[in-house]
Chain A
Amino acid sequence: MRNTAMNMVHKLAARDERVLYIGSDPGAGTLRAMSEEFPKRHLIEGISEAHIIGMSAGLAMEGFVPYVNTIATFLTRRCYEQVAVDLCLHNLPVRLIANGGGLVYAPLGPTHQAIEDIAIMRALPNMTVICPCDADEAARMMEQTLDWKGPIYIRLGKGGDAIVSRAEHGFEIGKAILMRPPGDVLMVTTGIMLQRALAAADLLAAQGIRAGILHMHTVKPLDTAALLQAIRGTRLVATLEEHVPSGGLGSAVAEALIDKLGSGFPAMLRLSLPDRFMHNYGSQDSLLKKHGLSANAIATSIEHALAASRPPSPQLHST
């Protein structure tokens, strides 16, 4: 996914001279082909994220569209005030390409695990937050970023994620994609939780449970209309995210349901990472499994939640 997104920057740069790549201190050879073809628009500015964001704001004020790229935690935690003031307050078209969203850097520990990035980026006025699920979707997404007004935070996965997005669904920023029709449960996913949701849906189907999937690649602005349409007739809305419980997709969905419906919406199940830093290493998959976000664990949690939300059986009330 990362390589695809990077190559798309090069492709967009070839098409549009406003496009810049700005890296802090990325891996050797990052976008080498672009650096050779467009050396003046391939900028490596050092481990100085606060400065890079401000500099990108200045470049965007003059009509450029900078694509700023580094590790997700450094692009969010380190320079949050610059993102808020320089980018969001001025509403400038800077794109933040965040490597290693969620637990991609599991072996590197909590300094490198972006587990609250969606929440803090989503909290900023004017910011758009996108989490593509695979490389193909990342490519379609990048096509849409060129002329989007305002800043965008792009949370990238590891790379090599199974391709589950489909070209016929297209990609539009802010428009969710219905991957499976709603049934007993609607799973709402973002990023690479879609792959787990699809596998969980198959497991649930084997148990006779119909599971729908709404892929919310854009967490902000949230596609509330698609959400309200998809929950009709379902008994349970389950949100799946590689993120702490506060402020991410689950929060966004709950807020939308409360704001639009107030009451009378299906039961909700928010599946997420716990509200703590990860002190285990291993892999993205192993940490997701540990915290109940494997396909099996998701399916089991949904089964339990459906059982708990079932209306009381009449027999239980008869004496």
Chain B
Amino acid sequence: MIQISPHAEAALTCTLDERSLYLRRLVLGSVRSAGRGHVGPALSLIEMVRVLYDDVLRIDPKNPGDPDRDRAILSKGHGCLALYALLADRGFFPLSELDGFCGPDSILGGHPEYGMVPGVEASTGALGHGLSIGVGLALAARMRERSYRTFVLLGDGEINEGSVWEAAMGAAKHGLDNLVALIDYNKLQSYGPTDYVLPLEPLADKWRSFGFAVQEVNGHDVGALRTVLKQLPAVAGKPTAIICHTVKGKGLPAAESNADWHHKNKLTDSELEAIRVAVGDF
């Protein structure tokens, strides 16, 4: 019998502060402008990205190529609306770019592209690539004796890919304690529940058995995320996996744990009104 994590229950009930609501307004504004976007995967991810970019990453938006910056890769590239909101808010590019999402001349596509979007470290979208690239970045840091850290954000559906587990073995082999995998464990992939599509449990044990130090946290609890991400590496000599229990579509009741909101096309008037009620005018 698989136990439901208390972090998962907390993720369902926890409330969002004004900054989290503001970031959701940015995300949903992009969806409204473009008439499309991966809503659920972005909303589950927002607090993870927020804490990384607000509190953890050593980065300078004015110098995005700084060789000593921390690296962050959004391996679940379809969650890019959350990343774009944070990058724009932090000044990597103007907020006005968010309105052009997926437009013909936009720098912001439906998946993030390296070289197009300031602050994006790797082009992702095809799943199962980011952790291997992260292993390369982290290994390079060690070989170059640089102090930067590498963070890779993965989706729970994404870790169906075998390449993720190849990368996990590689990270453990090299003892890359400068590498952190954050798993957005919202338990709902495109078709339906992860338990139905391809069961992941016991997920923490899997990562542990692959040689990672594992932490579990409510992925919408900003304070808890800060605490975990400020104590890295979790174990010296081991890469860290942080299983972030989240809710797909978090903050938008109609979208929460609703696979129909995985990707959303044109928003109806009633959906727009529901969004206003949930996150405020946008």
Give the residues in chain B near A48, CB-CB below 8 Å. 163, 166-167, 169-170
Give the residues in chain B near A58, CB-CB below 8 Å. 132-140
Give the residues in chain A near B19, CB-CB below 8 Å. none
Tell me the residues in window 221-252 of chain A with beta carbons closer than 8 Å to chain B beta carbons: none
**Which size class do B's interface residues fall under?**
20 to 34
A86 proximal to B (CB < 8 A): yes
Tell whether, in the assembled complex, residue A55 and residue B133 are in contact, meaning their CB atoms are under 8 Å apart: yes
Question: CA of A19 to CA of B30 in the docked complex: distance in angstroms?
Answer: 43
A85 proximal to B (CB < 8 A): yes
Tell whether, in the assembled complex, residue B133 and residue A50 are in contact, meaning their CB atoms are under 8 Å apart: no
Tell whether, in the assembled complex, residue B163 and residue A62 are in contact, meaning their CB atoms are under 8 Å apart: no
Tell whether, in the assembled complex, residue A85 and residue B170 are in contact, meaning their CB atoms are under 8 Å apart: no
Which of A46, A51, A56 lies in contact with B163, CB distance below 8 A? A51
Give the residues in chain B near A54, CB-CB below 8 Å. 129-133, 135-136, 163, 167
Tell me the residues in window 29-57 of chain A with beta carbons closer than 8 Å to chain B beta carbons: 40-41, 45-46, 48, 50-57
Give the residues in chain B near A40, CB-CB below 8 Å. 143
A105 proximal to B (CB < 8 A): no
Tell whether, in the assembled complex, residue B140 and residue A50 are in contact, meaning their CB atoms are under 8 Å apart: no
Question: CA of A46 to CA of B140 in the docked complex: distance in angstroms?
Answer: 18
Tell me the residues in window 20-35 of chain B with beta carbons closer than 8 Å to chain A beta carbons: none
Give the residues in chain B near A196, CB-CB below 8 Å. none
Which stretch from B43-51, B120-128, B184-192, B250-258 is at the chain A interface?
B120-128
B162 proximal to A (CB < 8 A): yes
Question: CA of A90 to CA of B122 in the docked complex: distance in angstroms?
Answer: 8
Which of B123, B141, B144, B170 lies in contact with A55, CB distance below 8 A? B170
B114 proximal to A (CB < 8 A): yes
Tell whether, in the assembled complex, residue A55 and residue B162 are in contact, meaning their CB atoms are under 8 Å apart: no
Question: CA of A54 to CA of B140 in the docked complex: distance in angstroms?
Answer: 13
Tell whether, in the assembled complex, residue A90 and residue B123 are in contact, meaning their CB atoms are under 8 Å apart: yes
Question: CA of A57 to CA of B170 in the docked complex: distance in angstroms?
Answer: 14
Chain A contact residues, majority secondary structure:
helix
Tell whether, in the assembled complex, residue B128 and residue A61 are in contact, meaning their CB atoms are under 8 Å apart: no
Which of B133, B137, B138, B169 lies in contact with A86, CB distance below 8 A? B133
Tell whether, in the assembled complex, residue A51 and residue B166 are in contact, meaning their CB atoms are under 8 Å apart: yes
Distance between A36 CB and nearest chain B CB, rounded to angstroms: 18
Q: Known: A51-B166, A54-B132. Contact between A62 and B122, CB under 8 A? A: no
Tell whether, in the assembled complex, residue A53 and residue B132 are in contact, meaning their CB atoms are under 8 Å apart: yes
Give the residues in chain A near B169, CB-CB below 8 Å. 46, 48, 51
Chain B contact residues, majority secondary structure:
helix
Tell whether, in the assembled complex, residue A61 and residue B126 are in contact, meaning their CB atoms are under 8 Å apart: no
Tell me the residues in window 143-181 of chain A with beta carbons closer than 8 Å to chain B beta carbons: none
A269 proximal to B (CB < 8 A): no
Tell me the residues in window 56-71 of chain A with beta carbons closer than 8 Å to chain B beta carbons: 56-64
A190 proximal to B (CB < 8 A): no
A294 proximal to B (CB < 8 A): no
Tell whether, in the assembled complex, residue B139 and residue A59 are in contact, meaning their CB atoms are under 8 Å apart: yes
Distance between A144 CB and nearest chain B CB, rounded to angstroms: 24
Give the residues in chain B near A45, CB-CB below 8 Å. 170, 173
Question: CA of A57 to CA of B167 in the docked complex: distance in angstroms?
Answer: 13
Q: Known: A82-B163, A90-B123. Contact between A61 and B133, CB under 8 A? A: yes
Q: Known: A46-B169, A46-B170, A55-B170. Contact between A64 and B129, CB under 8 A? A: no
Give the residues in chain B near A61, CB-CB below 8 Å. 121-122, 133, 136-137, 140
Give the residues in chain A near B166, CB-CB below 8 Å. 46, 48, 50-51
Distance between B65 CB and nearest chain A CB, rounded to angstroms: 11
A81 proximal to B (CB < 8 A): yes
* Residue with the greatest number of chain A CB neighbours at <10 A, chosen from B132, B141, B169: B132
A297 proximal to B (CB < 8 A): no
Residue of A nearest to B130 (CB): A54
The digit string for A81-107, where 1 denotes a CB below 8 A from any CB of B, is 110011001100000000000000000
* Residue with the greatest number of chain A CB neighbours at <10 A, chosen from B133, B141, B144, B167: B133
Tell whether, in the assembled complex, residue B140 and residue A59 are in contact, meaning their CB atoms are under 8 Å apart: yes
* Residue with the greatest number of chain A CB neighbours at <10 A, chosen from B128, B130, B139, B162: B139
Question: CA of A56 to CA of B140 in the docked complex: distance in angstroms?
Answer: 10
Question: CA of A54 to CA of B166 in the docked complex: distance in angstroms?
Answer: 11
Give the residues in chain B near A53, CB-CB below 8 Å. 132
Question: CA of A54 to CA of B139 in the docked complex: distance in angstroms?
Answer: 12
Q: Identify 6 residue pairs between A and B in the complex whose beta-carbon atoms are under 8 Å apart, listed by A's number.
A: A45-B170, A48-B166, A51-B169, A55-B135, A57-B122, A59-B136
Beyond the given A46-B169, A61-B136, A62-B136, could you list 16 further A-B residue pairs with CB under 8 A, ordered by the A residue number?
A46-B170, A46-B173, A50-B166, A51-B132, A51-B163, A51-B167, A54-B133, A55-B132, A56-B136, A58-B136, A58-B138, A61-B133, A62-B137, A62-B140, A64-B143, A82-B129
Chain A contacts to B: CB under 8 angstroms: 40-41, 45-46, 48, 50-64, 81-82, 85-86, 89-90
Chain B contacts to A: CB under 8 angstroms: 114-115, 121-123, 125-126, 128-141, 143-144, 162-163, 166-167, 169-170, 173
8 smallest beta-carbon distances between A and B, as pairs: A58-B136, A54-B132, A62-B140, A51-B166, A48-B166, A50-B163, A55-B136, A58-B133
